[in-house]
Structure 1
Amino acid sequence: MDTIIGSMTALITPFKNGKVDLEKYESLIKRQIANGIDAVCPVGTTGESATLSHKEHKECIEVAVAACKNTRVKVLAGAGSNATHEACDIAKFAEEIGADGILSIAPYYNKPTQQGLYAHYKAIANSIEIPVMLYNVPGRTGVDLLAETAIKLFDDVKNIYGIKEATGSLERATSIISQREDFVVVSGDDSVDFPMLASGAKGIISVTANLVPDLKVKLVNSTINGDFKTGLKVHNDLFELNKVLFCESNPIPIKAAMYLAGLLDTLEFRLPLTEPSKETLIKLENILKKYEVVK
């Protein structure tokens, strides 16, 4: 089974007049490809998947697969839901349309037990044959996929190969890596990318990479190849940017930053998300002066 690792971008979803702007979406993905990213992750939580219709969700995956066809860039499609049958449906579509794998967030709001999480992920993975990456972000979902549950899923289900750990905890990442060397852990928190990679993570799924994919590629490639000095410098250089991009709920700041940088024609969100405050826009404008955003 081909594992999807390296520098990966949690894609935003552009809107225009209330609808998904698929043309802009395609161009944003092609920009990611041109800047050397290893994989794109359409319709994850950064892609506002919770407020997309199933039709829109599937269209985004379809556009991503088409844009990455005949390139080296993989598509790790968002296929998560708090209803297991809905997650299975999206996962099956992703496989049929040609996605290389799926990224599936832990079910939000329901607050299942660890047994429920195990059964949920096993059902999704068993509905398809392509690789599955678990996604743990308790700060957003209200439920924590514990290390022992993730490891049991890896041991028991052949196509579950990795986990996006967005707890921000190095201890959690190490607890998995130290017990299962072949279980791929990737950083899901831009603020700890370098220490995660230096501790054995095999990649990142980044929000910041929507804006500066070239720098995130440099960070990952340097660190994984043992050039810790370069990797650490890039990571530290990105500190201020990473910080301001999470000063309001994701993806509000990253979409605003992309709009200010000229990467988005419109700045639109789906309610209940709203435009950033004036204070946040000023912060973003000031921070962007310190970085070169390649178009």
Structure 2
Amino acid sequence: MQINGIHHVTAIAGPARRNLDFYGRVLGLRLVKKTVNFDDPTTYHLYFGDAEGSPGTILTFFPWEHVAAGRLGIGETQETAFRIPAAALGYWTQRFVTEGVAHDAPEQRFGETVLAFRDPDGMRLALVAAPGSENEPGWDNGEVPVEFAVRGFHSVTLLLAEAAPTAAVLSQVFGFAEVGQENGVVRMQATGAVHGGIVDLRAASGFLPARLGGGSVHHIAFRAADDDEQARMVKTLAEKFGLRATGQRDRNYFRSVYFREPGGVLFEIATDAPGFAVDEAADRLGRDLKLPPQYEKRRGEIEAALPALA
């Protein structure tokens, strides 16, 4: 059965070492893949997620040492939210105070308690006390107790000029349905998706357009079970919305196509297969630098150009 929802979120960061420390140590996510930007092999592409690197838990970064700050605006992801057990809220509030993480007071959204915060680049994030998440496995990084660990994505919030055109794509292509509205936000949810099953649409016409930079989300990837399901989605995009996707690109751990949805946000459709254990054992995920075949002969040159992570 096809499981819909978010596959991964990719963002832009500043120094790689700082990025790794924040997401790997402070947030306690597992570094599941250490590779390079396929279009710029002198830059890391770091993947963080759960113990297995499951779709719906993966937050990835292109870290550039001297990147200029982005500007939040129309046509961009406003916030990326994770699931945590309700009993973990106190732990994370205290941890953010101890670690000097900028955060807001907890608030209620759609009947759930949300703790919003920012990473060192200003990326907008949140932890959501999600019912049932205490029964989901958590990654034990040795510093964040497993009972308080992040459980994967809860949702993303998109900032748009208008919500309806994007909602139509989410519904007819990706299997989402509207489940509520609150304070100007339309909530879309994918049936059966535990992780990454919610997309919130915030209509805010009149804002400046987004400018990509440090702290910006580059794109949102949605799940396709396999190549056939991906092709069906691409066909629906063209026939119902007149939207053309790129050709398929092999990203080693999934196969992808890209398109701009009506609100201007860059969407990706990524296959679940083959997964992150295709080139290293599951118990060694993220330990070694993995290069795509076309760059393997340049390994020495690439390793010398990449900044140290420790």
Same fold (TM over 0.5): no
Higher relative contact order (CA 8 A, sep 6+): 2
Taking structure 1 as the reference length, the TM-score comes to: 0.32
Higher helix share: 1
Rg larger for: 2
